Structure formats: C-alpha cells, structure tokens
Chains A and B, each alone.
Chain A
Amino acid sequence: MSSLPLSDLHPSSPAAAPHHGPSTEPRDAPRSGTESDGQPPVRAPQDLAAGLLITAFGLTALWLGRDWPTGTLASVQSGFFPRMIGLLMVLAGAVVTGRSLLSQGAALPSLGWRPLFGVTAAVLAFAGTVEFLGLVPAVLILVGLGNLAGRPLRPVPLALLGAALAAGCVALFVWGLGLPLRVWP
C-alpha cells in the first residue's frame, strides 16, 4: 500500500540524473562543498547517533544480565529473554551504525535545549515538592519553572495562570475526585 504514494517520487530521479551528468566525476571537491562543509567524515550522522545509542542499550542489557541464569531451551530461566533481546538489539544497532557509514543520510538535528531543560526541570521540581510542600506550592513552582521553557510570560499573566491552575487542580483532584493529596505545606 505504502508503495502507492512512493511511486510519485520516481519522476524526481530522472530530473536529478541530468544534474549529475555535467560534472564528470561524481565526487569532486566543489560539488561536495555545496552539499555540506568540506568532506564530511560521516555520511549519515543522525543514523550514526541512533545506531550507537541502540548498540549502547543492547550492550548495557547484556552487561547487566551477564550473570543471570539462562537455563536450557526446554526450561528457560530469567536470564534467557534479556540476553536474547540484548543480542538482537546489538545486532540492530550494528546494522543502523554500519548503514550510516555507507549511505547518505540526515545531519544531526539541532536540539531545543531551552524547552528540554525547562520542561524537565519543572517536572522534577514538582516531583520533589509535591510530597513535602503540598499541591499548591508544587503547582506554582512547576508553572514558574515551566515558564522558562518557552517565551516567558509577563509577571501578571504568569501569576494569574499559576493561581488559576492551582485553584483548578485543588477543585478537580482534591474536592472533585477526592484524591489523597496534600494541599498546603
């Protein structure tokens, strides 16, 4: 089924072929300079990173489970499945890594550090405060930290948002659903 939309891609390849024609050598310096800066050491950095990550997960699983009993095929024990999956993962990681060195692929993506850290910090702060300080302070801290993840709001709308969310959460979760949550410090 998925081959149907793909067939639309075909007309583009003959269009690319004449482009390839004029430069007699496919890989001369000025051409590769237009694709990317200089001679890239890796052809598909994104795939390379993915492959290494997958391999790392597989190796970690194998190392953690190195002493677990595997049993025999007729009576497998707790170490059998982890080792099997770990091996398959290393294999898959090796395929992705190997292919990233051979064929052209996407560059490493840029990361949105600000939203990544802002959101993670806000969630971690909530986790750390909800049990000791209660729901209202935890929500306020989450909204305050989370605000740094995007384009920050001005103080007054931010305060209103925090107050509305804290009140709404208390109303919905504590009064409405009757969840055993601590509200105040």
Chain B
Amino acid sequence: MMELLGNLLLGLSVSLSPDNLLLCFGGALIGTLIGVLPGLGPTATVAMLLPLTFHLPPVGALIMLAGIFYGSQYGGSATAILVNLPGESSSVVTCLDGHAMARQGRAGVALATAALASLFAGIVTTVLIAVAGPPLAGVALAFGPAEYVSLMLLGLIGAVTLAHGSVVKAIAMILLGLLLSMVGTDVNSGDTRFTFGLPQLYDGIDFVPLAMGLFGLAEIIASLEQTGGAGRTTAPIASLWPKREDVRQAWPATVRGTVMGALLGILPGGGATLGSFAAYSLEKRLARRPERFGQGAIEGVAAPEAANNAASQACFIPMLSLGIPPNAIMALMIGAMTIHGITPGPQIMAKQPELFWGMIASMLIGNVILVILNLPMIGLWVRLLKVPYGYLFPAILVFCCIGTYTLNSSGFNILLMALFGVLGYALRKLDCEPAPLMLGFVLGPMLEENLGRALLLSGGDPSVFATRPISGSLLAAAGFLLVLMVMPTVRRRRDEAFKDE
C-alpha cells in the first residue's frame, strides 16, 4: 500500500511538472477537437496526431498521446449525442439514448452526464491500473517464448470479437497485417522479404503511413461519400446540469458501467466496444421500465459512457505490463513507444518507473482536465460541428501528409499512405474491418520471433504450446473464445437467412 502511494506520488511529480501538465492539457484539447469531427473516431485521431509527439521527450509524448486518446473518445461521444453519428463502434450505444435526450432538448444534460460518468470511471480504473499493473508484470517475467506466442494468439483472437461481422474476415485481416509486418529485412537472417526490390522498403513499412492511410484517409473518403462536404444540423442545447432526479438515476448505472468496462477492458481483445454494449444491455435488463431505453433514458448514457472509458483505460494494463496491445489504439501506442526507443513490456516498470507512473498519474489528471475543459466548451464543439466538411477535410489531409512526410523526410511514405488509404476504403466497402489488421501488423515481428524461438528451444516439437501449463491454458482460452464467437455468428446467419426469405 505504501509502495503504491509512493509510486503514485512519483507519477504525480512527473505529470504535474509544468511541461507535462501543458502536454496533457494540449493533448486532451486537440484530441477532443479532432474527435468531435464526424467520422473521425479515436483510432483515426490518434493515428493522425502521432507526428505531433515525435519531437517530444518520451514521457511527454506518451502523456500527450494518452490525452489525445481520451480527449478523442469524449469528442466522439459528443458527436454521437449531438448529431447521432458514432465516431467509432464504442459510441454506437451512446447514440441510442444520448441522441434521444438531445432531441428532447436535454443534450446539455446528456453531455454533462457523459463527462461525469467518464470522469468517475477514469479515476477508478486508473487506480486499478496502479494496483494490478505490477503483479501482472511480475507474472509476465516468468513468460517464455511459448507463453508469449499463446498470449499473442489469445490477444489476436480476442481482437476478432471487437470486429463486427464475419469472424473469418476478421481473421483474414489479422493475417494480412502479419504479412505486411514481414515486409523488409528479416532480423535473424538478413534476407529481404516482400520488398519488390525497393530500397525504401528494406526497413519495413512504417506504421504511421499504414495507420493514417487505413484509418485517416479511408475515413475521409467515406465521410465525403456520405455528406459530399456539407455541414451537419445539431440538436440545440438548453441546460447543462443534470437535475437531482437525473443524478439519482445515473450514478448506480455509472458504477455498474465502470465495473463492467474495467473487467472487459483487461481481457485481451475486450476493449471499449464490448464494454459499452455489455453495460447497456445490463442496464436494460435491470431497469424497472426497460421500454424507456432508446427514448432518452439517462442510464443509457451514463452506463455505456462509464464502461467505454473504464475499458479503454483498462486496456493500458496488458499493454503496459505485458507489452501486448489488446486493440488497435494500444497498437498505435506501442508503435509510438517504439519510435521513442522504448520497448513495452514488464521491464518498463522496473527500468523506467517515472515513465510508467508518470503516464498513469497523468491519466488521473487528464480525466479531470477533460471535464473542466469540456463543460464550458460544449458550445464551441457544437459550432465546430456546423463547419462544412468541405473546409475541414483539406486541413485534415494537409496534416496527415505533413505528418507522414516528416517521419523521415521522404515522399515515399506519403505514397504508401495513399496506397493504404485506397486499401482501407476497399476493405471497408467489403465489410472487412481494418482494426484487426493493425493489431496483426504490430504483433507480427514479436509473434514470428517468439514462435521461432519456442520451436528452437523445444527442438522442433510444436506440442510445447499445449503442454506448458500457462501457455496451454492461454491457448485453451483462445480456443474457447473462438468457439464462443462462432456460435452467435451461426445464429445470426440463420436469422439473416430467415429475414431474406
């Protein structure tokens, strides 16, 4: 307990330094600003804003990225409530009751509820990270290559649950990400693979053009296709503060949402979408009058928003302590760490305590900043939503291009980004989600290396993955998840077939 306090104090001393406080504030502000734009979810926002952090010291860069991440998540909720457009799948449920509240002229209350529920969830989960991170990292130190392979497989299979739609397509996207990760020079043998003789590819594909193309450009193209560049009409905002009755209804839902979100967020592949959906269905089950849901029930905003935030922060636990990203955004964070020369994993906590604890403490501060920032600025976000997209998207494009270019001052990366933009758009049209691809891309090198090493250690006997106890149980969990996912798919397919007849 004393150790925990000491660690948190160390973290606070790092994150309260004027520089880092400013970065945290700036990150949350810019994140909200971009996240509020329709069609730009947290993943796209973080991908686009990555270059802003290249020139910062590592701790500052990660603090700012974390700020951008939860800022964009909050911005996405604001868009969901005001214009009924979810930026990412995790705010789909918020649309249901949030926008219904907005149509009743209670948009201000819905936004304030979302902010306060997120704040509560954020604080609780941050404490959870501080408590659960170190023991988990201790477990991870006992991991050998076989365990890492099984853990990564579990994470990848878990990521499939995040993708809606076909399980096989999501697996195919992971495989495509793994293939893309092999481009370049093989570290062990020095052989070049999939480089097409281009020297620019010898170092592999950089993940910034990949992420910006798949998420940023593809989303811009898709939004332009839908709106043609016009502005949006938003719901009016009257009062901001929830009434006493609202608070009485919202707070138990917030607590339940937080628990649900934090539990699902720790699981590999869990993440914000599953958390918010599960919290919403739980509230609907518990409600005395479930028919109020969808008509502007405040619990239907508080619970998923709390779960969403709790889950997206709990995702940091596997990322920071095991070095395994549970979803695409954490994959981006790992990419950012690698750019700064930090190898994520259990050794971070021991070797760079100020980085680990500074980031955790900055989450506490960031959540508070977010509320202080957003309640007075809701009016500004509403005005921003009315700016025609025709003016906004060129600015976003310029930003993506310069960001990618400055990575190593080469136009080649911009070409790659354009290529991945087209690929991302095509995949979207074919109902293949790009998020699992990103995860496969980041995990690819680690997976290949550990797979080879585990086989080497066992003398070429693939059964090690099943016979070593931790590895075996991780694999069993992955298999269980796969079976679990396939079953509802079978059912859904049958339902669809029924409807078509």
Chain A residues proximal to chain B, CB less than 8 Å: 1-6, 9-10, 12-13, 16-17, 19-20, 26, 35, 46-47, 49-50, 53-54, 57-58, 61, 64-65, 68, 72-78, 80-82, 85-86, 88-89, 92-93, 95-96, 99, 103-104, 106, 109, 111-112, 114-116, 118-120, 122-124, 126-128, 130-131, 135, 138-139, 142-143, 146-147, 149-153, 157, 161-162, 165, 169, 173, 177-181
Contacts and interface: CB of A to CB of B under 8 A. Distances in A.
Contacts, number: 234
Contacts of B411: 127-128, 130-131
B156 to A, nearest CB: 12
B429 interface: yes
Nearest to A52: B430
B124 interface: no
B138 interface: no
A4 B422 CA distance: 35
A119 B501 CA distance: 40
A110 B252 CA distance: 45
Contacts of B500: 35, 104
A68 B405 contact: no
Interface of A is mostly: helix
Contacts of A143: 394, 398
B401 A103 contact: no
Interface of B: 55, 161, 166, 168-169, 171-172, 175-176, 178-179, 182, 186, 188-189, 191, 193-194, 217, 220-222, 224-225, 227-230, 264, 274, 277-278, 281, 285, 389-391, 393-395, 397-398, 400-402, 405-406, 409, 411-412, 414-415, 417-418, 421-422, 425-426, 429-432, 448, 451-452, 455-456, 459-462, 488, 491-493, 495-501
A79 to B, nearest CB: 8
Given A146-B393, A180-B409, 6 more contacts: A4-B285, A80-B452, A126-B414, A142-B394, A150-B224, A161-B391
A6 B492 contact: yes
26 contacts: A1-B277, A6-B488, A6-B491, A6-B492, A10-B495, A12-B495, A16-B498, A17-B498, A20-B501, A47-B166, A49-B430, A50-B432, A75-B460, A76-B456, A78-B188, A78-B189, A80-B452, A81-B182, A112-B225, A115-B225, A127-B418, A142-B401, A147-B390, A150-B227, A150-B390, A169-B398
A9 B448 CA distance: 41
B55 A177 contact: yes
B168 A95 contact: yes
A126 B432 CA distance: 29
Nearest to B406: A179
Given A61-B179, A64-B194, A78-B191, A120 B186 contact: no
Given A81-B448, A119-B220, A123-B217, A74 B459 contact: yes
Chain A CB count within 10 A is highest, among B171, B224, B461, B495, for B224
Nearest to B413: A127
A181 B394 CA distance: 20
A123 B217 CA distance: 9
Contacts of A6: 488, 491-492
Contacts of A112: 221-222, 224-225
A16 to B, nearest CB: 5
- Listed residue (B228, B418, B461) with the most chain A CB atoms within 10 angstroms of its CB: B418
A53 B426 CA distance: 10
A14 B224 CA distance: 39
Contacts of B460: 72-75
Nearest to A109: B429
Most buried by B among A1, A16, A128: A1
B375 to A, nearest CB: 28
> Lowest 9 A-B CB distances belong to which pairs?
A112-B225, A74-B460, A150-B229, A73-B460, A127-B414, A115-B224, A4-B281, A50-B430, A92-B172
Given A16-B501, A76-B455, A103-B493, A142 B194 contact: no
